[in-house]
Amino acid sequence: MALVQVNFISKMLSRTVTFNAIIPLDHISFGKEEVVQQKPLKTLYLLHGAFGNYTDYLSGTRIQRWAEEHNLAVIMPSGENQFYVDKPNRGENYGAYVADELVEFTRNMFPLSHKKEDTFIAGLSMGGYGAMINGLKYHETFSHIGAFSPGLMIDQIIARSELLSVTGWSLDFYDNAFGGIDTIKDSDKDYYYLINQLIENKQDIPKIYLPIGTEDFLLESVRSFKSFADEKEIPLTYIEDEGGHEWDFWDKYVKNFLDWLPLDEKGNYLSSGNVAE
């Protein structure tokens, strides 16, 4: 299991950026001396939540272990509290960075599959919103979307709802993060609009996996999206389970999401502290 930290100059963000990558190329299998031919790796682009960065999943979940078991590459960038949206008039194109530039860069750097069916995007909270909008917008790149306790709050943001006070951020913050609150509706920041466009154009919608905790402050806004998804008959796997907006819940559902994805069967590999019987 190779764990790699990469710095490179992003044209989409006009500065040097950092991401972590889990690249499972150095397997040692129990009782197998033959070398197994390495196929291009299936890949998950995994987006952190608010206040986080590219290190979050390594400390908050067991993603490194699970990626090795499934022979899955995982790319973890930083979103800097900017909701992974594009703001071209400000030179801040976080959506294009994670879903276009980063995909191209990592495919050139690592032995990743270029196939849509092998390429996935997911995230939690703010990153769940980012995975949703960019997975839909870049539907020709990503076949599956994971949105864990996603920040599907655009109705509340547009309405300047009191719910926003739970996050501790002001309306000015949201106005800056989205490049203007009044620019959200019927744009590429609007998941309802993106889904309606795909339906209207008779294009395939990526399969969506969406777990939410029953004690999560986002539950009602996520339920509203669920009602919309049911009405539109889009491919949604929806789960409500005990838990809040917390790492214990996300650790559980990152694993369950990987089990849901069309990944390789779990391998019986040696790793640190794991010795053959």
| Per-residue confidence in pLDDT tens, the chain, 277 aa | 799 999 999 999 999 999 999 999 876 665 554 455 578 999 999 999 999 999 999 999 999 999 999 999 999 999 999 999 999 888 899 999 999 999 999 999 999 999 999 999 999 999 999 999 999 999 999 999 999 999 999 999 999 887 677 777 888 899 999 999 999 999 999 999 999 999 999 999 999 999 999 999 999 999 999 999 999 999 999 999 999 999 999 999 999 999 999 997 766 565 555 544 3
Domain that holds residue 230: 2-260
Is residue 193 domain-resident?
yes
C-alpha to C-alpha distance for 221 and 227, rounded to whole angstroms: 10
Residue written as token pair 């509203």: 224
Is residue 159 domain-resident?
yes
**Helix, strand, coil percentages, rounded to 5, for the chain:** 40, 25, 40
Burial profile 66-82: b = 16 or more Cβ within 10 angstroms, e = fewer: bbbbbbbbbbbbbbeeb
CA distances from 234 to 70, 151, 192, 225 (A): 27, 19, 11, 11
| Nearest by Cα to 68 from 48, 32, 50, 44 | 44
Give the count of domains, the chain.
Answer: 1
| Nearest by Cα to 240 from 249, 231, 232 | 249
CA distances from 133 to 64, 83, 195 (A): 25, 10, 9
Q: For residue 258, what are its two tokens? A: 């990987």
Predicted confidence at residue 276, as pLDDT, reads 40
Burial profile 111-128: b = 16 or more Cβ within 10 angstroms, e = fewer: ebeeebebbbbbbbbbbb
Handedness of CA 155, 159, 160, 164 (dihedral sign): negative
Handedness of CA 204, 125, 21, 209 (dihedral sign): negative
C-alpha to C-alpha distance for 74 and 203, rounded to whole angstroms: 27
Is residue 266 domain-resident?
no
Is residue 170 domain-resident?
yes
CATH number of 83's domain: 3.40.50.1820
Handedness of CA 183, 94, 103, 26 (dihedral sign): negative
Is residue 100 domain-resident?
yes
Is residue 122 domain-resident?
yes
C-alpha to C-alpha distance for 120 and 215, rounded to whole angstroms: 28
CA distances from 144 to 121, 136, 235, 237 (A): 7, 10, 10, 11
Contact (CB, 8 A) for 206 and 213? no
User: DSSP assignment, residue 82?
Assistant: S
Environment class of 218 (CB within 10 Å of its CB; exposed 0-12, middle 13-18, buried 19+): buried
